[in-house]
């Protein structure tokens, strides 16, 4: 596709519900990043994939957060037993070595946990 | 944790004026990038400056990097109302491939 696509755009979940957020990166991009952005803050790193390999998950806040990219393209971020503090915008970005570190971001998924 | 910190947190100017935002960071870096984010949208890449570069230009944007002070500045000249957005710096720490963002500067340009 022309850009990074994320779905859903908005998600409202009841506390305790599981949610799955999807990211479609730019076709052919090797690197994929997930970030969490709280209101009025900068993006905080969650996890990084190179193709299908999850090379860094040091930013995942708890074991309720899980990400995968099984075929090296589409990625899913899953949050189990959502809590109110999980409410944030979840941003996905993709990149390639040929673009020198530049990240291409999706519009994000705004998650609200009630 | 956030590697870069932007200053000021908020900036309000009139159209036609210049806007300067600063970024300070803590550790040695490979490169530093500036991004822009309009309300409710994802971030858009503006400019990247490598650790061995001191200044870079792109249209109305001018970025400087002082590695001895661990700081960078973004200058937007002849600002327009459409420049209203949040601006973030992101750094790749040396030995890492993860861009780490600051808290951002919120810029408002009044027409």
pLDDT in tens, A19-59: 999 999 999 999 999 999 999 999 999 999 999 999 999 99
Lowest-confidence range among A50-64, B47-61, B92-106? B92-106
3-state helix, strand, coil split of chain A in percent (to 5) is 5, 50, 45
Chain A CB contacts of B45 below 8 Å:
102-104
Asked whether the beta carbons of residue A105 and residue B2 sit closer than 8 angstroms, the reply is: no
Residue with tokens 């979840």: A90
Give the residues across from A67 on adjacent strands: A77
> Using the 8-state DSSP alphabet, how is residue A43 labeled?
-
- Testing the interface with B: which of A43, A90, A91 to mutate, by most B Cβ within 10 A? A43
In this predicted structure, what is the pLDDT of residue A87?
97
Q: Is the dihedral of CA A3, B43, A82, A46 positive or negative?
A: positive
> Using the 8-state DSSP alphabet, how is residue B9 labeled?
S
Three-state secondary structure call for residue A80: coil
Lowest-confidence range among A63-67, B73-77, B100-104? B100-104
In this predicted structure, what is the pLDDT of residue A100?
65
Question: What's the gap in Å between the CA of B111 and the closest CA on chain A?
Answer: 24
Asked whether the beta carbons of residue A102 and residue B103 sit closer than 8 angstroms, the reply is: no
In tens, the pLDDT along A55-105 reads: 999 999 999 999 999 999 999 999 999 999 999 999 999 998 766 679 999
Dist CA B105 CA B12 (whole Å):
10
Q: Where are the alpha helices (DSSP H) in chain B?
A: none
Asked whether the beta carbons of residue B98 and residue A44 sit closer than 8 angstroms, the reply is: no
Phi, psi dihedrals of residue B52, rounded to the nearest 5°: -95, 10
Closest in B42, B92, B100 to A107, CB measured: B42
Dist CA B101 CA B98 (whole Å):
10
Dist CA A18 CA A13 (whole Å):
8
Q: H or E stretch including B46?
A: strand B43-50
Across the range A7-17, mean pLDDT stands at: 97
Lowest-confidence range among A13-17, B10-14, B40-44? B40-44
Residue with tokens 């969490």: A36
Say how many C-beta atoms besides its own lie within 10 A of residue B4's C-beta: 25
In this predicted structure, what is the pLDDT of residue A56?
93
């Amino acid at each position: 596709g022309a850009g990074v696509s994320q779905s859903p755009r908005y998600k409202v979940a009841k506390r305790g519900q599981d949610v799955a957020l999807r990211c479609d990166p730019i076709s052919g991009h090797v690197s994929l990043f997930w970030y969490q952005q709280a209101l009025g803050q900068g993006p905080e790193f969650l996890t990084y994939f190179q193709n299908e390999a999850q090379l860094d998950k040091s930013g995942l806040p708890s074991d309720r957060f899980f990400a995968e990219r099984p075929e090296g393209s589409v990625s899913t971020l899953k949050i189990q037993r959502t809590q109110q503090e999980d409410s944030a915008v979840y941003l996905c970005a993709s990149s390639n070595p040929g673009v020198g570190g530049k990240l291409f971001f999706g519009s994000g998924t705004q998650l609200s946990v009630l | 944790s956030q590697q870069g910190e932007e200053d000021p947190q908020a900036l309000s100017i009139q159209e036609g004026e210049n806007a300067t935002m600063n970024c300070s960071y803590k550790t040695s870096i490979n490169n530093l990038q500036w991004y822009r984010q309009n309300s409710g949208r994802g971030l858009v890449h503006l400019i990247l400056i490598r650790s061995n570069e001191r200044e870079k230009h792109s249209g109305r944007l001018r970025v400087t990097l002082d590695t001895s002070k661990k700081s960078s500045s973004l200058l937007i000249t002849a600002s327009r109302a459409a420049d209203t957005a949040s601006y973030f710096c992101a750094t790749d720490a040396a030995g890492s491939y993860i861009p780490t963002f600051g808290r951002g500067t919120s810029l408002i340009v009044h027409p």
